[in-house]
């Protein structure tokens, strides 16, 4: 990532708060670094990004973000290897997806160099914040929202692009028990399910609360038509292993094109694991569980890489998955994290150094 933008201004904090942070006990996404990147869209163009001290945002009560929900975001990470070198994992994929989300939400698309060089500058300024304890990383949250004012139901005329950094510890989800959803839908055909927009996630909270009240950790989302097909697991893509085949649903306007998802598919094929990208019915999963062919289910996403599912409920019946000595989930997680932390060769060109 060689810098091409020479005009990103940097305003540093007078005193860092890094000494107040216990890097051995970092929760996920709750501690924030000294600085953030901000960039405004005004008068039909994105202005030059700048790095400023981390601080609250002042907005007019009529800002359209509050009324019409024009907001998008990404989730990515930076890692440090044993030699203190900083690495990103497929950052251009996050940039491309941010603009796919922007287009769907009628938000002006962002120039690539604003994203890449802005991120590079911010990570250089707050580089000492990137944790080096085992399993820890720097969680990166780029987001854009409508800052323009007015109650008229139309796209805003002003937007803010911000990147915030949150050093985070290992993401251990433990054994996750899920409920296959029969009533509520995450998204619909022709909708915004493929965009990383805030409302997609807000709409998941209530059905998930209902599942938690029944003793489950998360919801497995099914299609909006008749809840026949498995689609996603919580806020993650989902993989299902029947016998020795790893299956995941095809991306669509309902399903997020996950970067971890596409990485797992490439990695699995290279390892000789048979993969299938196809629709999979709830009935097929139930039958496989009953006859012992269902070996694994796991979520896939940035935070946990893979999140193994220990069992699921459907129509009042619980099904347990077997505990495997060497699961596909554990193999794949190790292979991906070894690439991310520069512990292994990267045959795919996914790793990008600062």
Question: 254: closest CA among 218, 223, 280?
Answer: 223
DSSP strand pairing (159-168 vs 35-42): antiparallel
Q: Give the CATH number for residue 129.
A: 3.30.470.10
Residue 127, pLDDT score: 98
pLDDT of residue 170: 81
Q: Do 289 and 306 reside in the same domain of the chain? A: yes
- CA-to-CA separations, 310 to 88, 96, 159, 293, in angstroms, rounded: 31, 34, 42, 15
C-alpha–C-alpha distance, residues 225 and 221, integer Å? 12
Same domain, 186 and 263: yes
How many angstroms separate the CA atoms of 56 and 315, rounded?
46
Range of the domain at 282: 176-340
Note whether residue 183 is domain-resident. Answer: yes
Q: Are the beta carbons of 251 and 240 closer than 8 angstroms?
A: no
- DSSP string computed for 303-320: TTEEEEEEEEEETTEEEE
- Of 153, 140, 143, nearest in space to 71 by CA: 143
Assess whether 155 and 40 both reside in one domain.
yes
What phi and psi, each to the nearest 5 degrees, are found at residue 120?
-60, -45
* pLDDT of amino acid 249: 97
| pLDDT recorded at residue 255 | 94
Indicate the helix (H) or strand (E) that contains 212.
helix 198-213
Cβ neighbours for 328, distance < 8 A, ≥ 6 positions apart: 239, 241, 246, 268, 273, 295, 296
pLDDT for res 133: 87
Task: Kindly state whether residue 90 falls inside one of the protein's structural domains.
Answer: yes
Cβ atoms of 162 and 142 closer than 8 Å:
yes
pLDDT in tens, the chain (354 residues): 444 456 899 999 999 999 999 999 999 999 999 999 999 999 999 999 999 999 999 999 999 999 999 999 999 999 999 999 999 999 999 999 999 999 999 999 999 999 999 999 999 999 999 999 888 999 999 999 999 999 999 999 999 999 999 999 987 667 799 999 999 999 999 999 999 999 999 999 999 999 999 999 999 999 999 999 999 999 999 999 999 999 999 999 999 999 999 999 999 999 999 999 999 999 999 999 999 999 999 999 999 999 999 999 999 999 999 999 999 999 999 999 999 999 999 999 999 999
Shared domain for 146 and 285, answered yes or no, is no
Q: What is the pTM of this model?
A: 0.96
Neighbouring residues of 109: CB distance < 8 A, sequence distance ≥ 6:
99, 102, 103
Q: Is residue 345 part of a domain?
A: no
C-alpha 200/C-alpha 209 separation (Å) is: 15
């Amino acid at each position: 990532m060689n810098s091409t933008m020479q005009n990103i201004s940097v305003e540093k904090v007078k005193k860092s708060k890094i000494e107040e942070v216990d890097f051995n006990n970092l929760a996920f996404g709750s501690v924030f670094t000294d600085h953030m990147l901000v960039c405004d869209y005004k008068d039909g163009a994105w202005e030059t990004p700048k790095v400023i001290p981390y601080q609250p945002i002042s907005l007019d009560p009529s800002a359209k973000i509050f009324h019409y929900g024009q907001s998008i975001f990404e989730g990515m990470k930076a890692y440090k290897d044993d030699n203190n070198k900083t690495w990103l994992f497929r950052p251009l994929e996050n940039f491309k997806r941010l603009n796919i989300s922007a287009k769907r939400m009628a938000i002006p698309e962002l120039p690539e160099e604003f994203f890449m060089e802005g991120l590079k500058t911010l990570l250089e300024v707050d580089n000492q914040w990137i944790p080096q304890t085992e399993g820890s990383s720097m969680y990166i949250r780029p987001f854009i929202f409508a800052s323009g004012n007015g109650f008229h139901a139309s796209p805003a005329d002003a937007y803010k692009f911000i990147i915030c950094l949150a050093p985070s510890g290992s993401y251990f989800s433990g054994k996750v028990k899920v409920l296959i959803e029969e009533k509520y839908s995450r998204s619909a055909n022709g909708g915004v399910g493929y965009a990383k927009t805030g409302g997609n996630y807000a709409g998941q909270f209530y059905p998930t609360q209902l599942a938690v009240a029944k003793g489950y950790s998360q919801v497995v989302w099914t299609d909006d038509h008749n809840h026949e097909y498995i689609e996603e697991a919580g806020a993650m893509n989902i993989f299902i292993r029947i016998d020795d085949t790893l299956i995941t649903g095809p991306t669509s306007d309902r399903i997020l094109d996950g970067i971890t998802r596409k990485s797992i598919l490439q990695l699995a094929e290279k390892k000789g694991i048979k993969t299938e990208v196809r629709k999979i019915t709830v009935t097929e999963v139930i039958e496989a569980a009953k006859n012992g062919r269902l070996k694994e289910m796991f979520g896939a996403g940035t935070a946990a890489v893979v999140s193994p599912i220990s069992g699921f409920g459907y129509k009042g019946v619980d099904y347990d998955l077997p505990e495997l000595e060497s699961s596909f989930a554990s193999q794949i997680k190790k292979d991906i994290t070894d690439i991310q932390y520069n512990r292994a060769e990267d045959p795919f060109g996914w790793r990008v150094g600062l």
